[in-house]
Amino acid sequence: MTGLRLGINIDHVATIRNARGGRHPDPVRAAKMAATAGADGITAHLREDRRHITDDDIARLMEQIELPLNFEMAATDEMLAIALRHKPHACCLVPEKREERTTEGGLDVVGGHNHLAPYISALGAAGIRVSLFVEADPRQLDMARRLGAPVVELHTGAYCEAEGEERAHHLARIEAAAAHAQAIGLECHAGHGLAFDTVGPIAAIPSVVELNIGHFLIGEAIFGGLDSAIRRMRAAMDQARNAALGQRSA
Ligand code: PXP
């Protein structure tokens, strides 16, 4: 056990289903398979336009899966009402723009603190663990702490998209932000865009305790199956974390 959790984001199983309508492939079936392949949690984003996960998917996930559900949502009254009705284990507040293809940046917690504060407190009061999806910027983390969010998830998208020195620069920012999160008492997660070749350095960061990974794994599942893709990811992250732990104790 490395103490590093893997959350599997099943949104894009629903994307494929919705391309035809109907029930196949079912994201709930994928969630059950993720559990047997070594996932520690399931993540699903109910978007305002319902382009992938639907309200019925969330209801069935809550009923049928044993792993904790991390419900990704925009900070809106509609999503808050849904979260309070289902009471998932966790809610991750994400920015959402209708025209974007995916979640294209972190939340502006500094600029939006007045808007976010009541959502964080309402979810927290209902016993739901709240996380804020943010860029690796210490000012965003400081504000998350001030607002009483117990968890931040660092956006790894720019790190994954970059190459060479630019990727190293993004990695250094993520490492520094993860250390800062720990220093100010925030639990630190990371995710977005992670793949077999990018997960290692993020998994090696000692204060990161959870990774949330979706799109790459659903794509890999086309070629080798979902179970095998998740197991390979789990092995890659555990290997990187164990190597980092070994280096620190040596
Ligand atoms: N974490 C958050 C907060 C996200 O919004 C997403 C994408 O929905 C992910 C993790 C997973 O990203 P990807 O699908 O690129 O692995």
Q: What's 21's domain CATH number?
A: 3.20.20.70
Q: Please count the structural domains in the chain.
A: 1
Full residue range of the structural domain in which residue 85 is found: 5-245
- Residue 79: partners with Cβ closer than 8 Å, 6 or more residues away: 46, 48, 73
pLDDT at 2: 74
Task: Report the distance separating Cα 191 and Cα 217, nearest Å.
Answer: 13
User: What pLDDT sits at residue 1?
Assistant: 60
In a domain, 39, yes or no: yes
- Nearest residue by C-alpha to atom 3 in ligand 1: 133
| Structure tokens belonging to residue 114 | 């007045």
pTM: 0.96
Q: What is the pLDDT of residues 179-188, one digit of tens each?
A: 999 999 999 9
For residue 202, give both structure tokens: 């993020």
Residue 92, H or E segment: strand 90-93
Which residue, by CA, sits nearest to atom 9 of ligand 1?
Answer: 192
pLDDT number for residue 101: 72
User: How far does residue 215's CA lie from ligand 1's centre (Å)?
Assistant: 7
Q: Does residue 63 sit within a domain?
A: yes
Rounded-to-integer distance, Cα 54 and Cα 58, Å = 7
Q: What is the mean pLDDT of residues 68-76?
A: 97
Mean per-residue pLDDT over the chain, rounded: 96
Q: Which residue has the higher pLDDT, 249 or 220?
A: 220
- Is residue 71 in some structural domain? yes
Residues 19-57: pLDDT tens digits?
A: 999 999 999 999 999 999 999 999 999 999 999 999 999
Q: Which atom of ligand 1 is nearest to the CA of 189?
A: 1
| Confidence category of residue 64, pLDDT binned at 50, 70, 90 | very high
User: Candidates 192, 197, 199, 213: which one to mutate for ligand 1, based on the most atoms within 8 Å of Cβ?
Assistant: 192
Which of 8, 100, 215 should be mutated for ligand 1, with most atoms under 8 A from CB?
215
Rounded mean pLDDT, 108-137? 97
Q: Which atom of ligand 1 is nearest to the CA of 94?
A: 3
In a domain, 250, yes or no: no
Residue 172 bridge partners (DSSP): none
Residue 126, domain member (yes or no): yes
